[in-house]
Structure 1
Amino acid sequence: MTIAIAYAAPSAKAPLEHTTIERRALRERDVLIEIAYAGICHSDIHTVREEWGQAAFPLVPGHEIAGVVTEVGPDVTKYAVGDRVGVGCFIDSCRKCEQCLAGLEQFCTDGGMTSTYNDKYRDGEVTQGGYSTHIVVDENYVLRIPDGLSLDVAAPLLCAGITIYSPLTHWNAGPGKKVAIVGVGGLGHLGIKIAHAKGAEVTALSQSMRKKEDSLRLGADHYYATGDPETFTKLAGTFDLIVSTVSAVVDLDAYLSLLKPDGVLANVGAPEDSSTLHLFSLVMGRKTLAGSLIGGIKETQEMLDFCAEHGFGADIEVIRADRINEAYDRVVASDVRYRFVIDIASLRD
C-alpha cells in the first residue's frame, strides 16, 4: 500500500484541501505512477460541486494525469520503471463486451467504464483521481506519453485532447473538409490545433472577437464571432463538420444552418439544461446532430502519438496545488488560456 499526498473536496461545494489517501498494493498487472502534473478539467468542478448529481466525499478529482512509472506488478509487460505515462478519464471496464473488444471502452455495456474518480471498481474499491502524488492503475488503462511531449503539456490531452480528437477523426476532418470549432477554450483550442494538423480548413467560432488573434495563432484559417447575427448569414451552408465544445445551451437550428448537405454537428460540450431544435433543420439537407464522448485506450494512444508527431500539446498555465480553489473560480469565469495544470510536486511543500 502507498500513502499519497492529495488535494480533496471534503464535501459538496467545499474548498479542496490538503490530505492523504491510500493507494492499493500492486496487483499482478498494476503500475504505480508518481504523478508529475494533473490538468484541471471543468468536469472536476462540476463533480465536486455536485452540478452533475450526487458525489461521494471526500473526493480527489483529476483525470488528466501525467507522470513516471516507479513500480510494476510481477505480470506487467507493457511498462517498466522510468517510463513516461498518462492516465485519462477511466481506469477499468468489463474488458469482454462488444464495445470493450472493439477498443471503445468508454462505451462499455457491461457495467460501464470505471471513472478515474468518484466511482467504484467492480470489487467496491473507491476511485480517487490525479490531484495526488501517486496512483495505481492496471497497465491496460495506462497510456505511453511520447518523448516529443513534455509531461505538463501532455496532461490535458488525456481528457481535453481525446475528447476533441475523437470526433474530428470519426467524421474525417482532413484535406478538402471545412471544419468549424465552436468555443475557443480548453477543448476548442486543441480542436483548432488538431483539425489544422489533419489538414482541414479550420474556422474558429467564439462569442466575440476577443480570441481572434489566439485562434489564428493556433491554426485557424478563419474566425467569426457568434455574437454577431450576420455570422450565421455569411456562413450558411459552409461546413462539412462542426464540433461544439460549449457547455451552454445554444441555438441548434442556427448552427445546423451552417452545415452543407450531409454535414455533421457533433457536440462534446454537455449543458445542464435541455436543448431544443426543429426537425426541419435536420431533414432539409440530410444533416446529422451527433455527440461524442472521449475515446478508447487505442484511440487515446493514437492521439498522443499524433500530437507528438506534429509538435504540440495544450496551451497551459502551471499552478501550485494551493491555488486549485482559485483556479476553479477562474475556470468558471473563463479566465484561463487554456488549461490549468497542477504541479504535483507542490503538494509536498
Structure 2
Amino acid sequence: MTVKAFGAPAADRPLEPLDIPRREAGPHDVAIDIAYCGVCHSDLHQVRSEWDGTIYPCVPGHEIVGHVTSVGSDVTKFKVGDVVGVGCMVDSCQHCASCDEGLEQYCENGFVGTYNGKTDDAPGHTFGGYSQSIVVNDKFVLKVTHPQDQLAAVAPLLCAGITTYSPLRHWNVGPGKKVGIVGIGGLGHMGVKLAHAMGAHVVAFTTSESKREDAKALGADEVIVSRNEDEMAAHANSFDFILNTVAASHNLDAFTMLLKRDGTMTLVGVPEHPHPSPNIGALIFKRRAIAGSLIGGIAETQEMLDFCAEKGVVADIEMIRIQDIETAYERMQRSDVKYRFVIDNATLDA
C-alpha cells in the first residue's frame, strides 16, 4: 500500500510531500497509524548527508507514537487500538551476543534503523515517522501507558528519553549520587528530568546564564554556568557521574576535573569535529573514566517508558505541522526550541 509522507529527494533539496510504500502486516508485524513524531537532530544530519550513507528519498523520524490498526497472526503482545511507540530501531540480527542480552542497539551485525536502514522491502531502505503509518516487527514495538493528552510529549522519549535514561541506569544513578548534566537541549532537558526522577542530586551545566531558571524548573537542584571558572572550581572532585549531551567539539577536561575518584563522564553526543584530546593525567590520578553510550535495547526502552509513565515524566515540546518542518530545522540549528519539536502527523492529510 501507499501512504503520504514528507521526505528529502536529495541532500540539497528541502523536504517535500511524497507517496511511499508500506508492506502489508506479516505474521509477526504490527501496523501503526502514526499520531505524533518527534524531530531529532539526527533527522537533519541524515537528510542533509552530514552523516555518510544517506539513501534518497529519505523519510526521517524515529520518535513515533501511534495506534495499532492491525496485527499479524502470530502477534500476541498487541491488539488493534493499543497505543504504541517505535524508536530508533525496527530490526536487528537477533542472534549475536548483544541481541541475546537484549542490547539490540549494539547488534554486532548492525541494527536496522527506523529510517535509512537496509531492508528487503521495496525500495530497499526503511522510511521513518514523517509519514501516516508504519509496519514494524512486534519485537521492536513498545507499549505506551501515559494518558492520552500526553502522547505528543511522549514521542521524544523514544530517542531523547532512552538516550539519557540508558547511561543513567547503567552507571547506577539514584539517591545519594551527585550527577551533572551538560547541555540543556533536547537530550539534556530529558537528562535533568530523569536524573531528578531517579532521586539523584542534579546539577545542570549550561553556557548561558539565561537558562539558569529554566534548568531549575526542569528539576535541577543546582545550575553551573560552565564559562564561570569560579563556579566550576567550587565543584572540583565532587561528582559521581556526569552525562555530557553536547554534540559540539569542546574541552572535556573542564568536566573530568569535577569527577570524584572513580567517577565517570559519559558522552552521548557525536561531535562534527573530534574533541580536543583529554588530559590523561586527570584520568589516571583519580581513576576517572570517559565513556560513551548509545540509545537502549528494546527491554530497557520499555522500562524507561514505564518509569516515565509512573513518574509523570514527558518531554517539553512545541507541536508543529509537517509543512513547517524546514522552519523547525532552521530553529533547531539555532537551539530555538524548548526543547523538542513534535509533528502532528494528522497534518499530512493536508
TM interval, shorter chain, is: over 0.9
Tell me what 1:284 maps to: 285
Tell me what 2:220 maps to: 220
Mapped partners of 1:176, 1:304: distance in 2? 24
Deviations 1:27-79 (A, max 9, x none): 11111100000000000001111111131111000000000000111111110
1:14 CA displacement: 1.6
Gaps of 5+ in 2: none
Alignment of 1:145-294 (within 5 A): 145-148=144-147, 150-275=150-275, 276-294=277-295
Deviations 1:229-250 (A, max 9, x none): 2232121112000000000112
Tell me what 1:11 maps to: 10
SS in 1 for 2:261: strand
Aligned length: 347
Whether the 8 Å contact between 1:201 and 1:221 is mirrored in structure 2 is yes
Tell me what 2:296 maps to: 295
1:214 CA displacement: 1.2
Counterpart pick for 2:112 among 103, 111, 114:
114
Tell me what 1:93 maps to: 92
* Identity rate, percent: 54
Whether the 8 Å contact between 1:148 and 1:311 is mirrored in structure 2 is no
Deviations 1:328-347 (A, max 9, x none): 00000000000000000001
Whether the 8 Å contact between 2:196 and 2:202 is mirrored in structure 1 is yes
1:185 CA displacement: 0.6
With 302-311 and 140-149 compared, the bigger mean Cα shift is at 140-149
1:123 CA displacement: 6.9
Whether the 8 Å contact between 1:196 and 1:220 is mirrored in structure 2 is yes
Mapped partners of 2:296, 2:103: distance in 1? 7
Whether the 8 Å contact between 1:92 and 1:121 is mirrored in structure 2 is no
Letter in 1 for 2:213: E
Runs of 4 or more off by more than 3 Å in structure 1?
Answer: 122-125
1:267 CA displacement: 0.3
Quickly say closer, same or farther: Cα 1:4–1:127, change in 2 above 3 A: same
SS in 1 for 2:186: coil
Mapped partners of 2:178, 2:147: distance in 1? 29
1:122 CA displacement: 5.9
SS in 2 for 1:163: helix
Mapped partners of 2:255, 2:120: distance in 1? 41
With 335-344 and 232-241 compared, the bigger mean Cα shift is at 232-241
Alignment of 1:63-78 (within 5 A): 63-78=62-77
Quickly say closer, same or farther: Cα 1:122–1:279, change in 2 above 3 A: farther
Whether the 8 Å contact between 1:9 and 1:17 is mirrored in structure 2 is yes
Letter in 2 for 1:218: L
Deviations 1:167-220 (A, max 9, x none): 000001100000000000101111111000100000000101111111111110
Mapped partners of 1:234, 1:195: distance in 2? 21
TM-score (norm 1): 0.97
Gaps of 5+ in 1: none
Tell me what 2:316 maps to: 315
Mapped partners of 1:56, 1:268: distance in 2? 25
Letter in 2 for 1:99: S
1:13 CA displacement: 3.2
Deviations 1:118-151 (A, max 9, x none): 1112678310000000000000000001144622
Query: Is 1:331 paired with 2:332?
Result: yes
Deviations 1:68-107 (A, max 9, x none): 0001111111100000000000100011111001010000
Mapped partners of 2:305, 2:246: distance in 1? 23
Letter in 1 for 2:327: E
Whether the 8 Å contact between 2:90 and 2:113 is mirrored in structure 1 is yes
